[in-house]
Amino acid sequence: MPYVRSDTGELVSEIQIRKENPQVSFPKPLSDAAISSFGYAEAQETARPSTQFWQRATKETTAVHVNGAWLIPWTVEDIPATAEGVKNEAYRRIVAIVPEWKQRNLTAQAAQLAEKGRANWTAEELAAWNAGQAIWDQVAAIRAKSDALEAMSPIPVDYKDDRWWV
């Protein structure tokens, strides 16, 4: 159970209350009746608010007194959008299409086909090349969207939304 200093609203722990009042033998667990005369009260945690993926909710360190009860509020804030965040989102989208192991396999396959020479490819090899190229075209599109987002000022806080990547 969280507790609060009744004069300031500052949140304190049971350990802090006991440490600040070494001469007092408080009961376990602490009760509002036992601590109220020492300037403390029980605080109630409020429900965590819902957030979008570009936001974070943070519990306040000071409670507010509302209708006779101490409540611990939350603050919702936008997470600053950064170029690094955009790059991480691009990476996530790319590996969802083509995992790193498959990227390595496609690169090795392309090197082998290049060595053989396009004029010497079989129909199966041409089909494999075209399938690999289709995957790399998807990756290139994601990289282009990432570059465009990174160049924006400011970068939109909802840059992870699919609308920026289509």
Asked if 47 and 112 sit in the same domain, the reply is no
Read off the pLDDT of each residue in 68-78 and give the average, rounded to a whole number.
Answer: 95
Asked if 128 and 64 sit in the same domain, the reply is no
Asked if 53 and 109 sit in the same domain, the reply is no
Looking at the structure of the chain, the number of domains it has is: 2
Terminal CA-CA length for the chain = 47
Structure confidence at residue 1 as a pLDDT band (50, 70, 90): confident
Give tens-digit pLDDT for 31-70: 888 999 999 999 999 999 999 888 999 999 999 999 999 9
Asked if 49 and 89 sit in the same domain, the reply is no
Token couple for 37: 């005369």
Torsion from C-alpha of 100, 102, 107, 109, nearest 10 degrees: 160
Give tens-digit pLDDT for 99-155: 999 999 999 999 999 999 999 999 999 999 999 999 999 999 999 999 999 999 999
Asked if 67 and 7 sit in the same domain, the reply is yes
Can you tell me the distance from the alpha carbon of 80 to that of 53, in angstroms, rounded to the nearest whole number? 12
> Which pTM does this prediction carry?
0.61
Range of the domain at 148: 83-164
3-state secondary structure of 53: coil
Asked if 53 and 14 sit in the same domain, the reply is yes
